[in-house]
Chains A and B, each alone.
Chain A
Amino acid sequence: MSGAPGVIIAGAAETDQVGKLPGHSTLALHLEAAVNALRDAGLSTRDIDGIATVSAPGPVQVAHALGIVPRWIDGTGVGGTSFLLHVRHAAAAIRAGYARTVLITHGESGRSRVGATPYRGSPSSVTGQFETPYGTFGATTTFTITALRYMKDLGLTPEQLAYVAVAQRRWAARNPRAAYRDPITVEDVLASRMIAYPFHLLECCLVTDGGGALVITSADRAAEFPKPAVHVLGTGESSETPLISQMADFTASQAFRRAGQDAFAEAGIGPSDVGHLMIYDAFAHVPIYGLEALGFVARGEAGAFIAEGNTEPGGRLPLNTNGGGLSYTHTGMYGMFAITESVRQVRGEAAAQVGSADISVVLGNGGSFSTAGVLVLGRHPR
């Protein structure tokens, strides 16, 4: 991609509130986030010629509701990382001249389920034949099932797993919008209700309502916008399996690794260049897999790395600085909130601002280790 025209995030915002919002439908959350992101970029709906979001409600509904007649549409819906893929696809479209200014939206009434699509699966699907009959019940029973294997093979302790939640709560304490801000200890985590052994309640993400949106355009327009441009330096995407039982190795994510390698190679960076990191944390073990897949630590070392304080306030690799899905918010497809926090950090306007966020990396997950997206974002063009 060397020599390809630059692409920036010119606008990024979340809904006015996140949490329990029974007065907002899923669509209304998309629209509020869109309006906020456009305001953040100093643009109006008339400036948008490309649209991307997941179904439902999908890009046709969001574009129509905003009065946008797009010349470019992306409805990629591969779970919570979809918005990272939208950024990647938008960057390609802008470079190709297919669109000039792309709006990416997320809204989800994950907790209140207002105007939300019911969860359903077909008993003749592969999942319906070979997993659902065994009593799976959402991500708490599938995403989590890899952890015992990791713990046995690589020596991760229950206390180290619990510490992931402790470290992230320390960031959440600095974020006024976070759902949970009171400090917790490893003992608190291990004493919380068992959800799916070995995972306790405090090792599982929240379920909330909210939304977020991004405005993507070409870097040659960076000076036109009120906020500092956030440069999209590298991107990657991948998928591994629709069935958690068929993940090739329960101790490592192939999709995380491939997406990360591509994003780092495009950006021309390595782990030591990264000053701020967001890793989708639906459950406490996911940042552990992410740190290893992206090469920040060697295989089997991430649990100790977090437990030694390296990723919490004052540590050398600030991770999930909004508090993450465990303590900030998690609507169901959390990836948008990982991006918006990364943008705030690169701009220097985060609630828990770190001093080292010239280059920030976002790793998104979709499904249960099903899909992955990685963004390398920077304060400066490459």
Chain B
Amino acid sequence: MTVPGPTAKPVPEPTPETQPFWDGCAAGELRLQRCTDCGQAYFYPRPVCPACGSVNVEWFTASGQATLYSYVINHRPAPGFEDEAPYAIAVVELAEGPRMMTNLVGVPNTPEDLVLDMPLRVTFEPRGGVYLPMFTPAREGSAP
């Protein structure tokens, strides 16, 4: 038996319908979809509007602004996260409405520092050939 080496963190594999999202992340933009019939903005990427069933949907660049909707601080690390536990797994609410899961960077991952509804902004971290959207506290004067 060999001792396993450090496990890498999971890397997402884009599919054709999600590729524009990941291309956006690589370009430093958070791209979402919006229905051109009913106006609904939504996430995760898919070719049908979840509000009205229309296939008339388009990509747009979101502001990157969000608020902290909910989170846990995980003490049993997933493979690849051993050095970071305890770490927060968060769900943020984007200014445009949709929510997404993320990690919170540039802030201690403690209950005292992570206050629900605190303002956040997107930042992108490279991992295995893609860039992952992460969120960090939005500070006075910081660009969105």
Contact = CB atoms under 8 A, between A and B. Distances in A.
Contacts of B99: 245-246
Contact of A129 (B12, B72, B127): B12
A202 to B, nearest CB: 14
Contacts of B103: 134-135
B14 A134 contact: no
Contacts of A136: 78, 89, 101
B84 A135 contact: yes
Interface in A132-187: 132-137, 140-141, 144-149, 152
A152 to B, nearest CB: 5
B15 interface: yes
A245 B14 contact: no
B116 A149 contact: yes
A129 B91 CA distance: 15
Contact of B15 (A124, A198, A245, A246): A124
Interface centre among B11, B70, B87, B132 (most CB of A within 10 A): B70
Contacts, number: 116
Interface centre among B9, B72, B84, B90 (most CB of A within 10 A): B72
A141 B44 contact: no
A128 B10 contact: yes
Interface residues of B, number: 39
Nearest to A123: B13
Contacts of A198: 72, 111
B76 A129 contact: no
Interface residues of A, number: 35
Interface in B1-48: 9-15, 18, 43-44
Contact of A133 (B12, B74, B90): B12
B124 interface: no
A144 B72 contact: yes
Given A145-B91, A148-B70, A133 B75 contact: no
Contacts of B91: 145, 244-245, 250
Nearest to A150: B70
A130 interface: yes
A298 interface: no
A141 B86 CA distance: 12
A286 to B, nearest CB: 15
Nearest to B116: A152
B9 to A, nearest CB: 7
Nearest to B70: A149
A245 B69 CA distance: 10
Interface centre among A132, A133, A148 (most CB of B within 10 A): A133
Contacts of B86: 194, 197
B136 to A, nearest CB: 14
A140 B78 CA distance: 11
A144 B75 CA distance: 13
Interface in A181-207: 193-199
A251 to B, nearest CB: 10
A243 interface: yes
A129 B101 contact: no
B75 A135 contact: no
B12 A140 contact: no
Contacts of B52: none
A135 B9 contact: yes
Contacts of B87: 135
A145 B70 contact: yes
Interface string B54-97: 00000000000000011111111111110010110111000000
A144 B73 CA distance: 10
Interface in A216-269: 243-246, 250
Contact of B76 (A124, A140, A145): A140
Contacts of B15: 124, 129
A130 B92 CA distance: 13
Nearest to A200: B75
A148 B71 CA distance: 7
B101 A141 contact: no
Contacts of B10: 123, 128, 132-133
A147 B69 CA distance: 11
A135 B79 CA distance: 8
Contacts of A128: 10, 12-13
Interface of B: 9-15, 18, 43-44, 69-81, 84, 86-87, 89-91, 99-103, 111, 116-117, 127, 132
Please list the 7 inter-chain residue pairs (A to B) with the smallest Cβ-Cβ separation, ordered nearest first.
Answer: A137-B78, A197-B73, A149-B70, A124-B13, A129-B12, A245-B101, A196-B72
9 contacts: A129-B14, A129-B18, A134-B90, A135-B80, A135-B87, A145-B70, A194-B75, A196-B73, A245-B100
